[in-house]
Each structure stands twice: as C-alpha cells, then as structure tokens.
Amino acid sequence: MEKKSIIKVRDLVAGYDDDIILNSISFDVYEGEIFVVLGGSGCGKSTLLKLLIGLMPPISGQVVIDGDDISSCDENTFKRILQKFGVLYQSGALLGSMTVAENVALPVQEYTDLPKKSVDTLVRMKLGLVHLNGYENYLPSEISGGMKKRAGLARAMALNPKILFFDEPSAGLDPITSAGLDNLIIHLNRSLGTTMVIVTHELQSIFAVAHRVIMLDRHTKGIIAEGDPYYLKEHSSNEFVKSFFNRQPEENREQTAFSL
C-alpha cells in the first residue's frame, strides 16, 4: 500500500538576508508517522520548523500541508491550514497569567463557537490525554517543567489536528521526565494516528520515537541522510552521520554530501 504524503517540501530555499541556511531541500512526511528533523548546531533545524508552520516565508520552493501550499496561500487559506496542526514549543509557551485550563481553551475559543460547557469538557478530555487530570486551575508557575510541556501538548491537540509539531520537546527535562514524554508521544501517535514532526538532537529520544529521520547539515545546507535512525547508525557511508548517531567526535569535518 502506497504511503500518503501529508507534508510535501519541494526545492525549499531559506535564509536570512543574504545568508542561505537551507538550499533546495525536498522531502515528504507521511500520514501517521513520527518524523524527526535532526542535525548539528546551526544546521537549520529551527529555520525549517518556522517554514513548516508558516512563521517565515521561504526564499523559493514549496511547503504543502495536506494539499495546501502554506508558502504562497492567501490569508483565509492560511487560517484554515493553521487548524490542521498544533505546535508544542520548546518552553511550552504557556501564558503565565492564565490557568492550565484557560491556556488549553485558547485555540478552541479562537477557532470555534462552542459554548463554555462544551469547551470545558473538551479541555478536561485533552488534559486527561496528557495525564494532567486535576490540574485545570493551576497556574504555569505552580507546575513542573515536564507538566508545562504536557499542558502545552494538550493545547496543541485542542482542535484535533492532523499534524503535531514539536520543538526540542526534551529540552530542559531530566532523563526520567524526558523518557515519560517520549512514551506519551508514542502512545498518542499509536492511539490517535496523528502525524508528528519533531525537531531535536537528543539521541535517546530519536531512537525511542522516530519512524524516520532527516539529517540537516550546515556545510552542505541540505539533507545528508534520510531513513531509519538505527540503520543510519550502523550503515551510513557518511562519517559525520555515523559519528552523530554513535555519539563520537569527528576529527575531520571536511566531507562531501551524502548520497541518499
């Protein structure tokens, strides 16, 4: 059975002023997979995420989300596309003056006309999915870092999106909390079938959750590896890729582009 692409990136060029960060990259993300974007510092991971969620325009190329080109659409189409995905930002990005429940309710109130009782029920359901039952009335300052991430995830799922984007989900978490978040991501993917795109460099999380990865490289400004992380760890012909996945220093960084 042929896999269906829910995200298509074609010949994408991006950068800041005259500084090209990504040069003519193309890839697909398939429905229902956990897709990880990784690479060394300065390779363009964060830039790519901004492009995928519409926070910055490309210099050229296309980003197609579920059939709509987010890189060239009009404002009304863009608002409709926004309802198809949710984003968990690195810090959780909760509003400190609002309770956990109020934070989760924000996108529902913005994009629907549901009555308050229905919104409250939906919020409780989403918080239950991330194991935060009973924390509806807590402020972000009253919960732990891991709980903030889960609350941010509940908010990202508020509109039942087809796609969830994660920006360094394990950043700032201890190993046990990080492993718990990885397990939650796997559970939600399996139970809901939600496509997930994760930007990270945390090896343990990559091996735990990823179905497929792409590795960006700041020297080539492109994709130097794509596939199963376990396969790349053992069989990649690119020395930097093997060093990355095996957590080994690489003495000579001069390299040629990896042939996919």
The reported pLDDT for the residue numbered 4 is 93
The reported pLDDT for the residue numbered 250 is 64
Using DSSP's 3-state secondary structure scheme, residue 149 falls into: helix
The reported pLDDT for the residue numbered 185 is 95
pLDDT digits (tens, 9 = 90+) for 217-251: 999 999 999 999 999 999 998 989 998 999 887 66
The reported pLDDT for the residue numbered 258 is 41
Residue 257 has pLDDT above 50, yes or no: no
The reported pLDDT for the residue numbered 173 is 85
The reported pLDDT for the residue numbered 260 is 41
Using DSSP's 3-state secondary structure scheme, residue 213 falls into: strand
The reported pLDDT for the residue numbered 180 is 93
pLDDT digits (tens, 9 = 90+) for 119-160: 999 999 999 999 999 999 999 999 999 999 999 999 999 999
The reported pLDDT for the residue numbered 252 is 52
Instruction: Give the angle subtended at the CA of 179 by the CAs of 230 and 54, to the nearest 5°.
Output: 75
pLDDT digits (tens, 9 = 90+) for 31-41: 999 999 998 88
Name the residue with higher pLDDT: 163 or 72: 163
pLDDT digits (tens, 9 = 90+) for 82-102: 889 999 988 778 998 999 999
User: Structural domains in the chain?
Assistant: 1-84+194-251 (3.40.50.300)
Cα distances (angstroms) measured from residue 220 to each of 20, 55, 133, 248: 11, 24, 47, 20
Strand 60-65 with 68-69, pairing: antiparallel
- How does the average pLDDT of the chain come out, rounded? 90
The reported pLDDT for the residue numbered 117 is 93
CA distance 173 to 171: 6
